[in-house]
Every structure is written in C-alpha cells, then in structure tokens.
Structure 1
C-alpha cells in the first residue's frame, strides 16, 4: 500500500523542521545569482544540503509524528545487544558493552551497586588529552558525583584510538551514565560544548538514519549512551560549566581526568554489543573500528598511498634528498597546488594553472629532453643544450640552476624576504626580536652556483629553489607556524604571499626560458600545429630510426606505446628508492593510534602508545 501523500497542503504549525542555509556572501549563494535574477526572485536561500535530502528528512519526520509504521524508518529501539541480557540491569550492560580489564569492570559494577537505591544524581565530568598527535599521546577522563542525595563517588580511566578531547569527554559521559539505576535522573555538568551540542542534537531529532550516524565522530560511544538512556528509562540533562573557572567540582573532575590519562588499562566500546541491520563497520589493520566518517577519514590512507607511489617515482630523483630528510611540507604543497586563483570553481584557465603546477612539481614539464622523447621526429637527435646559457642540458632541473637565472632569483628572494618580515611582524602576537635572524638563516640565503654543481640534482643547501617547482619547503612554513597561530589566517596569508613570490620567480625563470625556447623552435620551423597533429601524421609511417629505442616483442603493458606496429618502452618507469610499498600502513596508523597526521610521522618506525597484549585482548573479547 502506497502511504505517500498524493497532494500537498500548506498550513501554519508550531512544529518546524529547521535546516541550515548558506550565507548571502558565500560562493554557493552567489552561484545562483544570475539564474535567480532571470526568474525575478529578489530573495532566495541556498540550503547546505540537497533538496532531495531535505525532502527525505521532512517526510520521515511526518511519518514519525503521524505515528505511521514503515520499514523505511529505523527507530532507536532497533539497536539491540547481540547477546540476550536484561535491558534494565546495569551490571550486565557493563559486562557486555565495554572492553577493558576485569578490574575496571569490577570498579564500575561496585559504583553501580552503590547507586542502585538512589534516583537523583549530579555529575561533573571532564576529559584530558596530553601530547596529541605524538607517540606519547594520553587520553584520559574522569567524573565525580556531587549530589547529596546519592553517594559521592569518583571514577577515572583512559581510552585509545583516535584520541581527542571530544572523545575523552564523551567517554566520561558514558561511564557516568552506565552506572545509573533504572529510571534514574541525572544532571551532568561538563565544559565540552561539543558534547552538549551532540547530545541535544540526538535528543531533539526524531529520526536519525544509520547513514547520518556513521558520519558522526565516536558514534559507537554515542550509540551506547542513547541505547542506555532509552532502555534504562533515564532522564539526563547536560549543562555547561566554564572551564578553569575555579569551580571546585569541575577542577576535581579535571584532576581525575589527568590521573586517568596515565592509566595503562584503556576502555573502549564493544561494537559487537549492537545488532545493526544492513550496517557494516570499517576496521583498520585488524585493530579496531573506525568510528567516524569513513569517507573523510579514508583520505589519510589514500593520500599516504599516493605519496608512497609518488616518492618511488624516478622522475623525482632531483629532490630525493629533500624527500628523505623531510624538507618538503607536503600539506602546504597540496594546499598550494589546489589553490584556485580565479573566481570560478571550474574554467579553462584553472585547468591550465593546476596542470602546470603538477607538471613542474613532478619534473615532467615539457623541457627539451621531454619534448625530444615525445616528438622524436620533430626535434634534432642528440643532447639539446639550454638555449640561454648554451652550456648545460635543457632539463627541468637545470631551469633553477641556470647561470642566466641566478641573479634574478636572488633579487626576487631578497625583495620577498623583506615582505615576509613585514607580514609576520604585523600578524605575530609573540616576541619577534629574532624574526630577522630566522628569515636570514632560512631559504632566503644567497644562491651561488659554480661549474662543479651538478645539474641533475637540486642542492640540499638551497631549499628556496623548490619554490620554482611549486614545492613548499618546511623552512618557509616553519615561520608561518611559529608567528601566526590561527590556522585560517595562516593559510590565507600563506597562499597570498606564496602566490606573489612564485609568480615573480616564474617570470624571471620559466617565462624567460619559454620565450627563448620558442624562438629556437621557430628557427627549426617547429610549430604548435606540428606537435598537435604529430600522432596523426606519423601513425602510419614506419619508423626507420629505432636504434635509440628498446624494441619490445612481448605483450603490451601499461608503460608501452605502439607506433607503426613496433612497441617501445617509455624511458621512465617507477622503481623503489627508499620507501617500501606498505609504508602507507605505518604512516596511517599514526593517525589511528594518536591522531597524528601521517606526514608528521612519516619517518617513525614504531608506535608504542599501546602494547600488543591489549590488542590481543580486544579481539579475544570480540571472539575473533
């Protein structure tokens, strides 16, 4: 039977479904300005979610309020424990829902037994994270019961995997709620606005789809919190307390959280406690569930894998020493390459700009050696010298080391050294007495090239030359990190400054070289049309001169091209340099274990935040 409405009725109601819209100054709002003017709409709103999603949410709320039962709606009561237990027995819930040492479970059971004959409680909870992102990261939590109508007891503990202050605060709420008796009432005071927002959002939303739950950080903890509230018939309210405000109870909870962070017996949620229809959990490295938005988190292993493949490419041999020593800030490099200097999100100019950045950063920009490889019939055989200095081979690496460019590069770096000092001086709130010395000792040192300098590798002592290839040296980002605290401001100023610096460097190097090279091509009657129709022109011609190419008689692979029935292997291919093919697993584990970015732990070989015995105990408890 189709229960969907066949018509739409509009009437005033006190029950509204609130949805968010973009600000009028946002790019999303301005995107529709032209079409809205054509339709003569003076005022319009652009939702942050698609219309189909809003329609679906509104329809589910209608079904919920109308009391219509349908299989499309998944109420909270569908979350049931996998093992049959008493739904109002906190002792059995503690046993089945938590994975931790038996002594910790015993402590929680004793507290729950002491609370059994009372109904009104008031908790102060707090969380603590130490050395976030480092191998010594500690995530602890604690709470204290302060109501005179119940025993004044305390508890503290620690947790692992994706540590954060939000997770620590959430675990403090969970361990307090799990000890409450059936139909108990509790006021929980916390200084975490994030926890209060999540709690109110889940309480006030009639229907939450599994898809939306799986996008929430620490969804296992919050699923268990609301399962306990629903099945134990609890009345819970959260109130905000200001952190470090000399509140005696909040300070005591903070001290308990600090004590808990030193515990070597962590507590985690047993994800097998729930039976979820058509839901699957994603695990990492056979350790534990990724209880957050998997789509966003998957960017960590994906980017680590891409980076591992990138550094094992022989085309990056000129900067191999910089990669090995961690002298390139890959996060800011990615930010710069993805930077859009145009007003439109997609256009031809943006494609050209990004394509040029990628080619230069991978040292595959069409210099003479690349063009000679791609168009052997157009360019003369043998080594093609630089058209400006006439001394070295014309390669991508030579552009930054060419003697005809060094003087201009030093002049540009000197100008922007002064600009950087003024920028950081104006933005910094800390001491800046040593700023000038730090800038002078960084990448802005004078560049000197002699005849003994190799032009196949970029010298390790000249990190400023990396900017010519759209690679951001750590010596530059170090200054921005130290003198600009706000992330949004730091990235905005960095992009503006880097845009000016690299544009000026390109003008005296790549652009200058391109003009000279075009004149040289013109002297050989090589035009853009010749390169554009090269494949079509020589496709059916037999290549007589193949002595400098390797003939392949086996089956064609991805790194081979076929011209005139003869197969040739490209003169470049991937080969292992330093990093092994599974290094991305180790890099991503740093994010899983202590929330560190994989870039910051690229050179770490061990992760000792937890011992292997706990991991084994986890999987033994899960029956794996």
Structure 2
C-alpha cells in the first residue's frame, strides 16, 4: 500500500516554495538574479561555476572534430574529467607524470605536434602549409587524422583484439556474473569491434584515443558492477593498458617518420630555433619606467630619481648645517662624504 501511494504521489505536480515568503526569514540571498541560495553557499556556487566552465569548454573550436562525429551525450564527462586528472604513475611529481598529463591534454584538445600544429607555429618553414601524413602519405597530417590513418588501422585492430579478453577478465574477476554472459556482452560492445575505412569516422575508438570516456563504456561496466567505485577501477585499468599500447605503437613511429620527412626537406631543429629567434617580439603594453639621472661631475656616481635625489640633497644640507661643516652631496662611490674632523 505504501508503494502504491508513493507511485501515485510521483504523478502529482511538485510543490513550489518561494523562500522569500517564508516566515522568520530575515534575508534570502539570490545568486545573480537566477535562483535563491537555499543550501551551502560553497556547494551552490561550485555547481554554477562548473556549469559555466563546462559551457566554455564545449565552445572550444579545437574540439569540433569530436562534436562533428559524436553527440555531447555520448561522452561521460565526469568520468572523462577524472581520467584526465588520474595519475597512472607512482610519483606525486615527476617528469614522467608531467609527460603523461601533457599528452592527455594535448590529445584531447587536438594540439599534439602533428602537421597542422607545426604549420601553424612555423608557417615559413613548411611550403604551402601542408605536411603529408608520414605513415600513409595520402592525407594531410593533422590531429584529426590520428587514429584514422588507413595504414594504422591494422595496428589499432590488433590492440582492440588484445583488449577484448582483458575487459572480459576484469569483469569476471570483479563481478559475480556468468563468464558466458560477460563474453557475449563484450563481443557485442561497439568499442571493441574492428575498425575499417567504412566505420572509422564514427568508431568509438576515436574518443578513447583522444582521452575521452564514452557513455556506452561506462554503461557496460556499470551494468555488471552496480558500484561506481568498482566501475572506475575497471575502466582505469583498461584505459591504462589500452593507451600504453596505442602510445607505443603509434606515437614513436609517427615522430620518427615525421623527423625523417623534415630532414629530407631541409628542416632541422636549428631552423626551428632560428625561426623563433628571428621572429619579432610583441610590443609590451606597459613600458618600464625610465629613471632620469641627475648630472654629476663624477662618472662613477650612482643614478637616482629626481625625487630621491632631491630628498637626499635636502637631508645632506640639513646635516651640514647641524654639524657646521660642508658636506659634498655625492661621493665617488655614491655615498655622502663626511669630513674626518666632523666630530
């Protein structure tokens, strides 16, 4: 009976309470004329600022290749944020940790040093602003081409094939479901299906390569664990292994072939360094203040501002009157000279 009443109540219209009319309320703070702050101010503001930051993040033009392929709802954003902040190294602060974090952020924002970024930073070194993919030599080398190169599809398929039993093993070891049921679910999982030219544009592996966690991946693991903490641990272990293999098989090969192509075209690291040295620096908005120096008979006297020099001269004259002696304003070393027979 209680369940029936609860279900009936769910169909009713919700109560709307205006906190400004509550009796005994001395003040009702309102956030930017949006809504009343009816709970802890830190948590209330934290949610609003997160929404604003996330909205700005979605407007990042470098993420357009992702949103052109997948809807925003296909990505599990809280888990993606946790993955970007996850430290897969045993160090709190190290060069290895910084390298991992930098690679994650650059892969997500499509700013890895591929051809599109190199031509943007060194426009005079690359002719026609075009760098062919050093692996297939058929398309322009861009961050968007990462994971879609036709010559790399067999490598990616082998990695997907290797990680299908890894995901099955993790689910079998950490859940109580039947291995047969888990195997059937993993076999039908779209992320681990082979990638080809026909489905490469919308294949979910594009999200994984660019450090995003798909909503379907979370739903699959969560359907067996029913525990968020356990779900994260399984996904983390899978992603660490997957990204390590992807990084080893794709990134060093691409870098070595691109370096060889640059050498054949006469582009060396020295050319890149000279390009930045010869590039004119941007003018600063605020120029440093130019201090004016008072003329002095001696070339070794220290420069000082007019205000400071005037104050020093007044003090020296006052000291001279008090002592009844003449004191030169500035000595050869920049300090006031006091005769030895002053006292």
- Corresponding residue of 1:494: 235
Gaps of 5+ in 2: 284-343
Q: 1:413 to 1:487 in 2, by over 3 A?
A: same
Looking at structure 1, the residues matched to 232 and 70 of structure 2 have their Cα atoms a distance apart, in angstroms, of 22
Please, what TM-score do these two structures have when normalized by structure 1? 0.41
Which whole-Å CA distance do the structure 2 matches of 1:295 and 1:534 have between them? 48
1:410 maps to which of 134, 141, 157: 157
CA distance in 1, matches of 2:44, 2:263: 51
1:464–1:473 Cα contact (<8 Å) kept: no
Specify the alignment match of 2:34 in structure 1: 286
Say if 2:20 is the partner of 1:266: no
Alignment partner of 1:466 is 2:207: yes
Query: Does the 8 Å CA contact 1:427/1:483 hold for their aligned counterparts?
Result: no
Q: CA shift at 1:345, angstroms?
A: 3.4
Separation in 2 of the partners of 1:322 and 1:299?
Answer: 31
> CA offset at residue 262 of structure 1?
5.8
Asked if 1:332 is matched to 2:79, the reply is yes
- Structure 2 partner of 1:295: 42
Paired residues, number: 280
Q: Distance in 2 between matches of 1:459 and 1:538?
A: 39
- Give, in whole Å, the separation in 2 of the partners of 1:346 and 1:412: 30
Structure with greater helix share of residues: 2
Q: Which one has the bigger strand percentage?
A: 1
Post-superposition offset of 1:385: 0.8
Distance change in 2, residues 1:281/1:352 (3 Å): farther
301 and 440 in structure 1: CA distance in 2 versus 1, 3 angstrom threshold: farther
Matched, 1:393 2:137: no
* 1:374–1:485 distance in 2 versus 1, CA, 3 Å: same
Q: Deviations over 1:185-242 (max 9, x none)?
A: xxxxxxxxxxxxxxxxxxxxxxxxxxxxxxxxxxxxxxxxxxxxxxxxxxxxxxxxxx
Distance 1:533 1:445 in 2: 47
> What TM-score does the superposition give when structure 2 sets the normalisation length?
0.70
Cα shift at 1:479: 1.4
* SS of the residue 1:351 aligns to: helix
Q: 1:360 aligns with which of 107, 113, 116?
A: 107
2:128 alignment partner in structure 1 = 381
Query: CA offset at residue 265 of structure 1?
Result: 5.8
CA distance in 2, matches of 1:398, 1:316: 14
The DSSP-based 3-state class of the residue aligned with 2:209 is helix
Contact 1:284 / 1:290 at 8 angstroms: preserved in 2?
no
Unaligned 5+ runs, structure 1: 1-250, 541-561, 564-624
Distance 1:382 1:435, change over 3 A: same
In the aligned structure 1, how far is the partner of 2:152 from the partner of 2:258? 15
Q: CA deviation at 1:437?
A: 2.9
2:221 paired residue among 458, 464, 480: 480
CA distance in 2, matches of 1:522, 1:297: 56
If asked which structure has higher relative contact order (CA below 8 Å, sep 6+), I would say 1
Find the structure with the greater CA-based Rg. 2
Paired residue secondary structure (2:194) = coil
Give the alignment partner of residue 192 of structure 2, picking from 437, 444, 450: 444
Asked if the contact 1:410–1:446 (Cα under 8 Å) also holds between the matched residues in 2, the reply is yes
Match of 2:326 in 1: none
1:539 to 280, 291, 301: 280
Counterpart CA distance in 1 for 2:127 and 2:16 is 70
Distance 1:290 1:284 in 2: 14
